[in-house]
Structure 1
């Protein structure tokens, strides 16, 4: 039975309009994005199949094209639409970080970094340069490496911080392997950054690792 044959108040679109977006399940939200199903499957059924295959909505969003397109009914066009939606969300979060206190909304920082780094196939090291009011002045990708290492120089980060007149920084990098724990090199680099930035009276507020769909904070784990 197609969605058009469902009771009106149970159809995803009508449900959203009458009860609000929070009333929809992940499958219903994804079905609205997909718009149509395939023969024998409604858009909601197709959404449920996709979520079951990837295990979670986050894993689906960050899936590579090849894996995404293996599901009947999905393909490059839907992948491009989803990537555009994710990028719009990332840019909206970036606007929030530039206008508000990042310390008052740490989830926005996590979500922004996850959307920025989770899809990368090599390690990327990112720095958020912050003002006295903890607003983001600039975001720079300062290093790109192989799949398991990247060269980051504390003096370069310090130089960029001075250029942006930053009083604090947040750094982040991804683990394409999906490993959650920091490597010894990650820990050593963090210590060197703290020491180098302290000489300039610049605070290192946190170091995040984006590992798959999770984001790990050095500060929260007591590693900083």
Structure 2
């Protein structure tokens, strides 16, 4: 055992490791010293764990978030740094600071992405392309997100999880990646007449852009 700790026993015979006065002290994310990192707070010697044990909750929270899963959609993407330069003042129609002074530059970041594939999928699949821009303005970050097609599959957001589940690879084999060449997707389309307009766009060259420069925003 480290010299930084002394070992005590609780009423139930459990081990308690307590920091020595001259040793490093374990703290929570808020800087509160942790008296015991080996035993959660319980109701009685054999009782249930209490939710008021904030250190236990924080420790489990950090454990659950050690690995960040990839995005459900738009996992495959590329970014580009740049700037937005105002060429004509829009002060007569908006109070947004970014549109006030001609010639002023605002840092920007753009992200291009596919939609259906995982982060390791192909870049050249026939797929809708995501186009997102973050502007670092003096009034805060301004996020603009969208796709490269002016219409969408659905008219009601409650259908969005169903759409994505239908478009994703077959759950028993993870195939095909980054495209909807399977029955699940077409079953969804056949039952959602409003999706047909979007399908026509997908079958055009809009979903196979030659480069990021040629991609509609």
Higher percent of residues as helix = 1
Question: What TM-score range do you get, normalising by the shorter chain?
Answer: under 0.3
Taking structure 1 as the reference length, what is the TM-score of the superposition? 0.24
Taking structure 2 as the reference length, what is the TM-score of the superposition? 0.24
CA radius of gyration, larger in: 2
